[in-house]
A and B are shown apart, each in its own frame.
Chain A
Amino acid sequence: MKLTQQLIYGLIACILLVSAPHAEHLPLWVSAVCSALLAWRAYLNHSGNPLPARWLLLGITLACVLAIAINFRTLFGREVGVTLLILLAALKLLELRAVRDVTVIVYLSCFIIITNFFYSQSIPTALFMLLTLLVIMATWVHMQTGTLALWPRLRIAGILLLQAIPLSLIIFVLFPRVQGPLWGLPQDAYASSGLSDTMAPGTMSKLSLSDAVAFRVTFNDKVPSRDQLYWRGPVLWDYDGTTWKRGRNATLQRPVLTDASLPVDYTVTLEPHNKPWLFALDMPSKLSIPADLAPDFQLLSRTPVNARTRYSATSLLSYRANLNEPPQQLQRALTLPRGYNPQAIRLAAEWRTRSDNDISLVRTALGYFSQNGFEYTLEPPLLGLNSVDDFLFSSRKGFCEHYAGSFVFLMRAAGIPARVVTGYQGGEFNELGGYFILRQSDAHAWAEVWLQDSGWVRIDPTSVISPARIQSGLNAALPDNAALPFLARSQSPFLLNLRFNLDALTNQWNQWVLGYNTERQFAFLTRLGMEDITWQKLAMNMLAGVALLVGIFTLVMLRRLTLRQNDAVQNAWLKVCRKLEKAGLPRAPHEGAMDYAARVAASRPELSASIHDLASHYTSLRYGGESEKDGVTAFRNAVSAFKL
């Protein structure tokens, strides 16, 4: 093996392919340094100039490590590890001296592929992985074979990969799954996205710009109407003048639903968001996985959701929630920060004096929003210190968080217990897959007020300003020129169909490939007819399956080694030889057909004519260049007729 120019280009391609997907989330300077290093290596390779001296490389390496330490403020953790690996791989290319270094780079690039899965495990990522593997394998084969041209190298690499695919499928299905993690994970092990447990002006509108899927829902039978599709997430109680927070519940009392009816069953596939909350329709009553139902009807998983999670739930759409809310909780729901928003407080006090009861006060408040020219927009103007006052009396432009927040503020100021609920609203129905897709752009905030006879009642002030948001989704509610995510726009039927197809595919992929865990494995194998699944049984089946497939591969692969040319003329002539051998006249290994015939004729004169005919016929067929079918058939007939 030699470090040929070609091989080095192959290695550069490997590093480039494995690090390219990381460019999206690496700091810009790291991508720039990596590209520069690779370009430098390619130039050196092209020009044949010597590699840089060791001290220079050492200097660059130290500078890179230092820069990473400054940039991330640490040298530990996943992001830093990935960044270091990529930089070191690129640097390693510049000190390629021995065969061992090539091996190291190939192994390293295999390893870097896996780090990309922290960020994305989608279908395109999987396809890109296959392409990358093909290039790595081809380079690897090149390393072993040296002079082989590109095409046969790719062929060998392709065969290796194609054989590996069915084998790894068997292993993937049957490999006994261990539920991780094996050791404590660093803080940054999982990316978090989606709803947080705080809300300030701008929180929701920022989230609305994302196309990312939050979760998918399949309804078991009846699909509720759109204005019922409020997916409950974090409930926010505490307000400090700018930000709403979840705070701490003052009671451990279990929430109670009375007069509940209209049950709905559905299954949610939740994308990992690294927070404990699960989403369910108002109000959840049953759940298939272990989770806690907080006193404010918030579903909380016991560990952060850092893997795609599937659960079935039952919700009751008609209810009276917590009629007997403990007084300390009601007190929380009335607390306001001192000294903020005096105008709003005055307005609420005025409403209080004018209204006979709480219900009419709520109506007054909603009427206020609908009559004073409020506008629903993704780009609200900045608000000052008294943000509720600024919003209610001057800007009057806002997104759902502004409406929910100021409404709850007004209610509390008027003495009605109220709280903010965040979550998702609506969703997009995928007819192909028969499920709803909830994206981050469907994030929503609404309010709940506590009334004496009804308990907690959902009030969505946004629905007053922009009924379209609730009925048809975000794109219908906003003007056409708003900066909406691409997928939230309405599209041509063809594009819509394509998009639904892709999402249905993604859903299957998520369920069957990415979500393939211990439970899925058991369910799937039970459906295939396997009983009493233990890991020993899985391992046995896996080994048996692999052995069977390898056996088949072996048969196919070794067949071509011994395959001789199936030559009819040759076979027929050998038949003649065998006949003569039985008669005691074996052909010597060195003897040609004509010589043999002459010898046979000499010792058995009665055969002279026929053996001469056969030998000359054979010679002309085999060496004379004629190969017509008729000649061969005639020869074979003559052979069959040849009797001793």
Chain B
Amino acid sequence: MFSRFKQKFRNWAFRRTVETGTVVLNQRRIYIIPSRQGFGFAFVLFLMLLGDINYNLSLGYVLTFLLTTTAGMTMLHAFRNMAQLEIHAGYVESVFAGEQAKFVFHFNNPGRMDRYQLHLHDDEGNHTVFDLAAQRSTPIEIAIPATRRGWMDSGRLTLYTHFPLGLFYAWTYIHFEVRCLVYPKPAAPQPLPIASAQDGAGKVIAAGDEDFSGLRNYVAGDAMPRIAWKALAREQGLQVKQFSALQGQELWLDWSQLPNIAQERKLELLTRWILDAHAQGLLYGLRLPDIEAAPQNSTAHRADCLRRLALFGTGAT
């Protein structure tokens, strides 16, 4: 309950628009408050001061003031540990749902000071810690689990530090216009639908699976049944059987041909097939209710098909 209010308050107090380009951390962006340990230490200092006054310990005063001023100065050190850092968002690789989306931010430290123990985390508690060397730009990656297909926003991230003594918590929010494309999660491996050629009547012509044409090296995503187990037994490495009937023929992955299952399952199945078909070097096309991609076999085509599946029905592009 309380934490929800706190969250709401923070969102209101620290609202900022989503940023593009390079962000420089200046005093208007960095907030500092004492941490819990900071309050604890203040209490210890208070006890010490009472003791000094009571027992009239001059050297005790010196010690208490030394510790107090050190503690106070760490506020400036905490600020300096973050100040003038330049941050811009980097390219984010697309991932499949269920994997970790890796958001990359480039931190440039223009000054001559090393920066220590910067923590970057999102509101769900995904977390990374790093140091930044002086006069160097360092890419920092924060992995956030991708749960749903479609565009995924990094959300507002918190960058904070407890350096040097943990008495102060200095933080800033960074919310970049950066998103990760999440493809549907591939379904469990399934044989590809039989290659079809349209002969005008919509009839499916069977192609011979048995026309074995040779072996090629295994590529991630190849269907299990096509693995040449005998070749593996002969210690020729992991190889996959290729069939002439499938080669050079067009494979249509057609939404309308799929059995009557939930939409998301259909997308997952299509994703699996696209991966397999691409890995096997087939010419495959994708036909969705609203759009059609002509058969091809290329990385760009694969990405395009997966992107259509990822954004299917979301209205986004």
A516 to B57, CA, bound (A): 10
Residue B59 is within 8 A (CB to CB) of chain A in the complex: yes
In chain A, residues 500-541, which have Cβ atoms closer than 8 Å to a Cβ of chain B?
513-517
Closest to B115 in A: A561
A564 to B84, CA, bound (A): 12
- For A553, list chain B residues within 8 Å (CB): 73, 76
Contact between A182 and B67, CB atoms less than 8 A apart: no
Segment of B48-56, B139-147, B208-216, B275-283 engaged in the interface with chain A = B48-56
Q: Which of B59, B74, B164 is A117 in contact with, Cβ under 8 Å? A: B59
Interface string of A166-189 (1 = CB under 8 A from B): 011001100100111111010001
- For A129, list chain B residues within 8 Å (CB): 59, 62-63
Contact between A171 and B69, CB atoms less than 8 A apart: yes
> Helix, strand, loop or mixed for chain A's interface?
helix
Contact between B54 and A558, CB atoms less than 8 A apart: no
Contact between B164 and A178, CB atoms less than 8 A apart: no
- For A113, list chain B residues within 8 Å (CB): 63
Contact between B56 and A148, CB atoms less than 8 A apart: no
Residue A67 is within 8 A (CB to CB) of chain B in the complex: no
A47 to B78, CA, bound (A): 36
In chain A, residues 232-267, which have Cβ atoms closer than 8 Å to a Cβ of chain B?
none
- For B166, list chain A residues within 8 Å (CB): 103, 140, 143-144
Segment of A4-12, A156-164, A482-490 engaged in the interface with chain B = A156-164
Q: Which of B70, B76, B116 is A550 in contact with, Cβ under 8 Å? A: B76
Q: Which of A111, A148, A563, A564 is B116 in contact with, Cβ under 8 Å? A: A148
CB distance from A84 to the nearest CB of B (A): 16
A517 to B41, CA, bound (A): 26
Contact between A107 and B41, CB atoms less than 8 A apart: yes
- For A554, list chain B residues within 8 Å (CB): 76
In chain A, residues 619-642, which have Cβ atoms closer than 8 Å to a Cβ of chain B?
none
- For A57, list chain B residues within 8 Å (CB): none
Segment of B91-99, B105-113, B262-270 engaged in the interface with chain A = B105-113
Residues of B in contact (CB 8 Å), total: 48
Closest to B135 in A: A565
Q: How large is the interface on A (under 10, 10 to 19, 20 to 34, 35 or more residues)?
A: 35 or more
Contact between B59 and A156, CB atoms less than 8 A apart: no
In chain A, residues 549-590, which have Cβ atoms closer than 8 Å to a Cβ of chain B?
550, 553-554, 557-558, 560-564
Residue A125 is within 8 A (CB to CB) of chain B in the complex: yes
Contact between B44 and A110, CB atoms less than 8 A apart: yes
Residue B219 is within 8 A (CB to CB) of chain A in the complex: no
Contact between B76 and A126, CB atoms less than 8 A apart: no
Closest to B80 in A: A557
Residue B77 is within 8 A (CB to CB) of chain A in the complex: yes
- For B131, list chain A residues within 8 Å (CB): 145, 147
A133 to B57, CA, bound (A): 18
Contact between A180 and B54, CB atoms less than 8 A apart: yes
Closest to A156 in B: B164
Supposing A137-B70, A141-B165 touch, asked if A561 and B59 sit within 8 A by C-beta, the answer is no
Residue A307 is within 8 A (CB to CB) of chain B in the complex: yes
Q: State the 8 A-B residue pairs at the shortest beta-carbon distance, nearest first.
A: A168-B65, A561-B111, A167-B69, A164-B69, A561-B84, A164-B70, A121-B59, A514-B58
